[in-house]
């Protein structure tokens, strides 16, 4: 079954509503402003807030368009996850946590509208207000909100959570929440954050997504320690049985306070969600074939192409869904750790990019199912790849002092296209010329540093069969240039630990992007993030131009300025050759047993297990 969105439908759902449609006050949507003379008055409370423009749904919406409000409740969803865990706290750096706790157990002030680039609707906070400058944001809590132990969610809990995560949370939380100048509580159900000086228009939404923890049940002194203690949240599920490293049971809270909220109707339909962890990918797939878990997101084209020829898939018990999302296409990269002296020279990184033979790999391993783009926002209007910079972009790049390769600036640059033989001589000659400029020369069949005579050698760290196959093919290409690339396969636990600690030369990674990139970009490639363990700046990028461009996209008020800032950021990242683009994933591949059903309509963001339900048993006569 295929679920594809037409260009018209995706464009409609991306609803960047212009402020000129009669004015926000007339529409009664999002943040409305009353003006007295030249001074803004207190902003009106709103049921939602959008990063740009206004929310797509009206104030009286009854459910999300991608949810089935009549979905039956009951049953169990079993989720097969590759990896393991040693902690039930997903909000800290230490340990390997169960990420599904965030959202299913621990809620935030506002909830995402998954049919829009970045719009949030009321959840723990019934309403939100801010001003035109977004110099503050105030959240008014729903008086019905309760934690699973029955205690009310108060402003004191929100302030506690903000301070706790600012001081002890993950690096992204520390970075975001430290921008708040002051926080206070005018009354037990109201929290106001002073954002003056932050110059960050996304910050009110970032705070809206802040997880809220119960002050009475969390000890700040031990918060950063890995733990198997079951956290208390306000979400639809509580944590049941736990087998460390193996499984976690999430059990529906029958007294969940928010079950009838419009944002939740048709969601969280299972009585139980069982999370089963698998250490090895092949064993995980074999378990799915036996029906030991209910669905899997397929990441390997070879398996998707011919791995589902087993009885349950042939007779229709296993359904395969191909879902086209409206987001930038997820892209895989081989990432250089530029903290290593070997990869500090951009000429070296560019040369190694030339040596990657995508055409051979795509034909022999992936049945030609993949495309390739140099962009970090592939397949979207945010991508700068193959697109000349307009005057707005050029001015922005000039002001930040970005060093952009001419071909990337004028849109003429494209990734090298080989002859597909695995022995492309043109690419090899170009790569060796760049390596010679960088101080390397061939000594027989070994590439050596011209000064130190050290051989050019590094390690590619992998954790899946697919990653290993790509690395081994690349190893062959590099050997022709006299480069020794050792491929080291490790289990998912060790891979995550080494990736988070930047203990690698090269890894394969993907950064998922939205249609509204924002603060997380600093977490991906900001200079400060390069020196903080646990960020996603795996390449170690440190470029003031990148930092300034991230600030520019956060300050943008209108769509054109925002798009220009993101494209300028994309050009700067491409010019840095921090990673070798491998391929773009244009679709989501989901396999599920037919005992699990899903809505006909899919969200802009793709599949959402929280919208699924168990097929009712047929009624006996």
What is the reported pLDDT for 11? Answer: 36
- List, edge to edge, every strand of the sheet that includes 125-130: 125-130, 136-141, 190-194, 182-187
**CATH fold of 331-584:** Dipeptide-binding Protein; domain 3 (3.10.105)
| pLDDT, tens digit (0-9, with 9 covering 90-100), for 344-377 | 999 999 999 999 999 999 999 888 878 899 999 9
Output the six-digit token pair for 570: 């994309």
Which one is predicted more confidently, 22 or 48? 48
Cross-strand bridge partners of residue 211: 108
To which residue do tokens 């994933």 refer?
585
Considering only residues 28 and 301, tell me which one the structure prediction assigns the higher pLDDT.
301
Q: Tell the burial category of 404 from Cβ atoms under 10 Å away from its Cβ (0-12, 13-18, 19+).
A: buried
Place of tokens 């048993």: 617
pLDDT at 100 over 80: yes
Q: What is the pLDDT of residue 365?
A: 87
- Whole-angstrom CA distances from 350 to 346, 405, 437 are 6, 12, 12
Residue 431, pLDDT above cutoff 50: yes
* Coil vs helix vs strand at 610: helix
> Rounded to an integer, what distance in angstroms lies between the CA atom of residue 93 and that of residue 423?
43
Q: Are 2 and 14 in contact (CB under 8 A)?
A: no
Whole-number pLDDT of residue 9: 37
pLDDT for position 2: 38
Q: Which residue has the higher pLDDT, 335 or 279?
A: 335
Tokens matching residue 424: 């492309």
Joined together, the tokens standing for residue 406 give 């001419």
Report whether pLDDT(5) > 90.
no
Q: Average of pLDDT values for 471-491? A: 96
CA 5, CA 368: separation in Å to the nearest integer?
Answer: 23
Question: Which residues make beta-bridge pairs with 485?
Answer: 458
Residues 300/459/500/284 CA torsion (nearest 10 deg):
30
- What is the value of pTM for the model shown? 0.78
Show me where the domains of the chain are located. Answer: 62-324+589-621, 331-584
β 506-510/457-462 pair status:
parallel
How far is Cα 445 from Cα 398, in angstroms, rounded to an integer?
A: 43
pLDDT the model gives residue 492: 85
User: 514-531, pLDDT tens digit by residue?
Assistant: 888 998 999 999 999 999
Residue 282: phi and psi, rounded to 5, are -65, -40
pLDDT value, residue 515: 87
Give counts: helices (H), strands (E), the chain: 19, 26
Burial code (b: 16+ CB inside 10 Å, e: under 16) for 13-45 equals bbbbbeeeeeebeeeebbbbeeeeeeeeeebeb
Q: pLDDT above 70 covers what percent of the chain?
A: 93
- Assign a CATH topology to domain 62-324+589-621: D-Maltodextrin-Binding Protein; domain 2 (3.40.190)
Measured CA to CA in angstroms, residue 456 lies from 350, 430, 468, 479 at distances of 15, 17, 21, 10
């Amino acid at each position: 079954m295929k679920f594809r969105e037409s260009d018209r439908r995706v464009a409609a759902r991306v609803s960047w509503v212009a402020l000129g449609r009669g004015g926000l006050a007339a529409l009664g949507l999002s943040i409305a402003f009353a003006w007295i003379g030249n001074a803004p008055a207190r902003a009106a409370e709103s049921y939602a807030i959008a990063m740009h423009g206004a929310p797509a749904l009206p104030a009286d919406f009854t459910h999300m368009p991608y949810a089935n409000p009549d979905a039956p409740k009951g049953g169990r969803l079993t989720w097969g996850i590759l990896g393991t865990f040693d902690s039930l706290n997903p909000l800290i750096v230490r340990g390997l946590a169960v990420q599904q706790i965030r959202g299913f157990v621990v809620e935030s002030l506002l909830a995402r509208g998954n049919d829009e680039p970045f719009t949030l609707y009321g959840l723990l906070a019934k309403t939100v207000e801010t001003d035109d400058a977004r110099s503050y944001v105030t959240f008014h809590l729903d008086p019905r909100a309760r934690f699973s132990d029955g205690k009310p969610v108060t402003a004191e809990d929100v302030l506690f959570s903000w301070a706790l995560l600012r001081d002890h949370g993950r690096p992204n939380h520390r970075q975001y929440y430290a921008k708040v100048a002051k926080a206070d509580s005018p009354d037990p159900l109201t929290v106001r954050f002073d954002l003056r000086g932050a110059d960050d228009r996304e910050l009110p939404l970032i705070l809206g997504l802040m997880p809220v923890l119960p002050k009475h049940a969390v000890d700040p002194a031990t918060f950063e320690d890995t733990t198997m203690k079951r956290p208390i949240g306000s979400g639809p599920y509580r944590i049941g049985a736990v087998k460390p490293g193996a499984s976690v049971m999430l059990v529906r809270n029958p007294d969940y306070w928010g079950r009838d909220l419009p944002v939740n109707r048709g969601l969280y339909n299972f009585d139980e969600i069982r999370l089963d962890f698998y250490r090895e990918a092949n064993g995980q797939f074999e378990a799915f074939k036996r029906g030991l878990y209910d669905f899997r997101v397929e990441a390997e084209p070879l398996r998707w192409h011919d791995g589902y020829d087993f009885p349950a898939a042939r007779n229709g018990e296993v359904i395969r869904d191909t879902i086209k999302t409206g987001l930038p296409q997820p892209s895989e990269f081989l990432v250089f750790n530029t903290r290593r002296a070997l990869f500090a020279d951009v000429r070296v990184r560019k040369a190694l990019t030339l040596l990657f033979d995508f055409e051979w790999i795509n034909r022999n391993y992936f049945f030609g199912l993949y495309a390739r783009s140099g962009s970090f926002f592939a397949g979207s209007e945010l991508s700068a790849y193959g697109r000349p910079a307009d005057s707005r972009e050029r001015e922005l790049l000039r002001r930040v002092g970005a060093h952009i390769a001419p071909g990337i600036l004028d849109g003429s640059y494209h990734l090298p296209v080989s002859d597909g033989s695995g022995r492309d001589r043109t690419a090899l000659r170009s790569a060796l010329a760049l390596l010679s400029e960088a101080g390397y020369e061939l000594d027989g069949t070994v590439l050596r540093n011209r000064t130190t005579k050290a051989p050019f050698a590094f390690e590619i760290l992998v954790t899946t069969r697919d990653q290993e196959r790509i690395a081994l093919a690349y190893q062959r290409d590099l050997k022709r240039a006299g480069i020794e690339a050792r491929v080291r396969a490790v289990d998912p636990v060790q891979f995550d630990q080494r990736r988070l600690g930047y203990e690698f030369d090269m890894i394969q990674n993907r950064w998922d992007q939205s249609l509204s990139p924002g603060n997380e970009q600093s977490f991906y490639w900001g200079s400060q993030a390069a020196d903080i363990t646990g960020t996603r700046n795996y390449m170690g990028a440190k470029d003031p131009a990148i930092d300034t461009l991230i600030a520019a996209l956060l300050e943008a008020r209108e769509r054109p300025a925002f798009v220009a800032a993101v494209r300028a950021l994309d050009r700067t990242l491409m010019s840095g050759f921090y990673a070798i683009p491998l391929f773009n994933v244009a679709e989501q591949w989901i396999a599920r047993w037919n005992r699990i059903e899903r809505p006909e309509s899919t969200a802009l963001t793709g599949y959402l297990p929280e919208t699924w339900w168990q097929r009712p048993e047929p009624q006996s006569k």
